[in-house]
Amino acid sequence: MRRNASPLSLFLLGAGVFLLVLAPLLVWYVQPQAKRTPIDIDTTTVFTGTGSYFDTSKVETVEGKEITITRQVRGDVADSVKSGNAVWDVSTSVDHEGTLPASDPRDALQWTVERWVTDRTTNEPVHCCEETPTFDGEAYLKFPFDVERRAYRWWDGTLGGVVRLDYAGTKKVQGYEGYAFKGTVEPTRTGVRQVPGVLVGKPRTPQILAEEWYSNSGIELVVDRRTGRIMNAAIGPKKTLRAPGSKKDAVTLLESKRVEFTKETQLKQVELASADSDRLALLSGTAPAGAVGLGLVLATVGIVLVVRGRRTEPEAPNTHMMTNSPT
């Protein structure tokens, strides 16, 4: 009897071997490639809250007004591909009801344009590609992948420096749980601005270089654990002017106890975080484990069938070995 491997057994064995080879590739190659900061990003986040701001038309600080912070982030794909880093252009405007909708961001209370460059894997800052400003820290518009329960150094653009954000437990955003981080900024001088002396209590001085001071009563960020995406952000900024050398605020330029992501922004951020997190979980755990399990089963069955083979019909007798009967 001859034993031949059936097509089915060879197919099962091949499929099993393929899945066993695929599993480590998913872990060692595909998953690390997926765990990289995107370069084709185009998102807008909006904060709202109630506070005070300096009204230039009234030359005084008005209170109890709605304040809106709009941040648009766009990836520079060409420069990202060229440099191998994540190059993001960031536009941030602070508006009141009189400057919204903003047809020209230069009409806003404050408008800044920045260019952020980070390592796509570690999220560390990379100083290249016309980055501005030169920044530091390990958490910015996002946190690193696989967020840990520890303090992070978060870059505050208004401060122009890093702020320690401590881990503050878990918190849900629109039903989705993430890690919360909190911190504050004590009053800090951040620069100077030329203004009429009368604004800061120096009426005899027509123009004066007043000191700009900044503080933040409460920074709270809720972050997706796996992707590092910020799902909700709340801040309590205060910007003031002081006379040179003074220890007292003379003018409040902007102040709010709490401005926070709008519900729409939260929902969008949670949607993106959930989708990306599920994809990374699939590539790092579910898919490789499934490939190994199924691959072992298919390979085992294939090997068994190959060994057993299929019994064929008995071989036909060899006519060359036969002799004629005697007459």
What token pair was written down for 297? 């089963």
d(CA 155, CA 159): 8
C-alpha dist (Å) from residue 146 to 63, 105, 138, 226: 41, 35, 13, 4
Split at pLDDT 50, 70, 90, the class of 297 is low
Please report the DSSP string for 227-278 in residue order: T-BEEEEEE-EEEEEE-TT-SS--EEEEEEEEEEE-HHHHHHHHHHHHHHHH
Q: What is the pLDDT of residues 180-239, one digit of tens each?
A: 999 999 999 999 999 999 999 999 999 999 999 999 999 999 999 999 999 999 999 999
320 or 214: which leads in pLDDT: 214
pTM of the entire predicted model: 0.79
Query: What would the pLDDT profile of 43-88 be if each residue is shown by its tens digit?
Result: 999 999 999 999 988 889 999 999 999 999 999 999 999 999 999 9
In a domain, 167, yes or no: yes
In the prediction, which pLDDT does 93 show? Answer: 92
Closest among 185, 216, 210 to 195, alpha carbons compared: 210
Mean pLDDT of the chain: 84
Distance CA 74, CA 93 (A): 15
Residue 50 included in any domain: yes
Mean pLDDT in residue range 117-132: 93
**pLDDT value, residue 3:** 56
The residue-averaged pLDDT of 244-270 equals 96
Share of residues in the chain with pLDDT > 70 (%) = 75
Residue 296 lies in a domain: no
The pLDDT value given to residue 20:
59
pLDDT number for residue 289: 57
Identify the band that residue 17 occupies on the pLDDT scale cut at 50, 70 and 90. low
Report the domain count for the chain. Answer: 1
Evaluate whether residue 309 is within a structural domain.
no
- Residue 245 included in any domain: yes
Domain annotation covers residue 273: yes
Is residue 80 one of the residues assigned to a domain?
A: yes
Answer whether residue 112 shows pLDDT above 80: yes
Which three-class secondary structure state does DSSP give residue 222? strand
With 60 as the cut, is the pLDDT of residue 168 above it?
Answer: yes
Q: What is the 3-class SS of 172-213, one letter each residue?
A: EECCEEEEEEEEEEEEEEEEEEEEEHHHHCCCCCCEEEEEEE
Whether 25 has a pLDDT exceeding 50, the answer reads yes
Q: Is the pLDDT of residue 260 over 60?
A: yes
Residue 266, domain extent? 27-281
Which residues lie below 8 Å from residue 316, measured CB to CB, with a gap of 6+? none
pLDDT at 292: 53
Residue 246 lies in a domain: yes
Res 322: pLDDT: 47
Q: Of 265 and 284, which is predicted with more confidence?
A: 265
